[in-house]
């Protein structure tokens, strides 16, 4: 979800990618549904590992997993406390979507302010949004 919002609203200041320490196997259908309600199509997105996105090339990582990230990352890390909606009701998905929209928009505004302060803008910075880990739910 965060990557979808970042692509839609922040392409002037970031190049988002989403990855996880232990990524899920699919993007949940409810995730796609609640994002479509915001006119954001995430059909081209798929779960990726940190290795798949080349985490070393990013200058900012937003960790939403609640887990400690692997050591040795050179990027700035921001921690966002986000509930994992997998296995929960559509209402929880909507709440998480709205929270992420708010947080991503704040991040974009911060980055735009930072970009204006710089004398020589380098173009959009590479940002990693996500790091959602897969969860196993048992019944």
pLDDT for 58 equals: 87
Which token pair is 101?
């929209």
Across the beta sheet with 60-63, the strand order is 14-17, 125-130, 60-63, 76-79
pLDDT confidence of residue 69: 83
Over the chain (139 residues), the average pLDDT of each successive run of 10 is 95 90 89 97 90 85 87 87 94 98 96 75 55 32
Alpha-carbon gap, residue 40 to 42, rounded angstroms: 6
What pLDDT does 50 receive? 84
The CATH fold assigned to 2-130 is Rossmann fold (3.40.50)
CA-based nearest residue to 128, from 76, 71, 70: 76
* DSSP structure class, residue 67: S
């Amino acid at each position: 979800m965060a990557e979808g919002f970042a692509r839609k609203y922040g392409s002037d200041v970031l190049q988002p990618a989403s990855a996880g320490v232990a990524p899920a196997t699919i993007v949940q259908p409810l995730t796609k549904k609640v994002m479509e309600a915001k006119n954001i199509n995430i059909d081209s997105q798929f779960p990726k590992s940190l290795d798949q996105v080349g985490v070393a090339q990013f200058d900012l990582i937003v960790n939403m997993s609640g887990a400690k990230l692997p050591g040795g990352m050179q990027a700035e890390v921001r921690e966002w406390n986000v509930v994992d909606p997998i296995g929960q009701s559509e209402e929880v998905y909507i709440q998480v979507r709205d929270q992420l929209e708010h947080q991503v928009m704040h991040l974009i505004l911060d980055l735009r302010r930072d970009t204006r302060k710089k004398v020589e803008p380098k173009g959009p910075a590479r940002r990693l949004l996500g790091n959602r880990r897969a969860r196993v739910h048992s019944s």
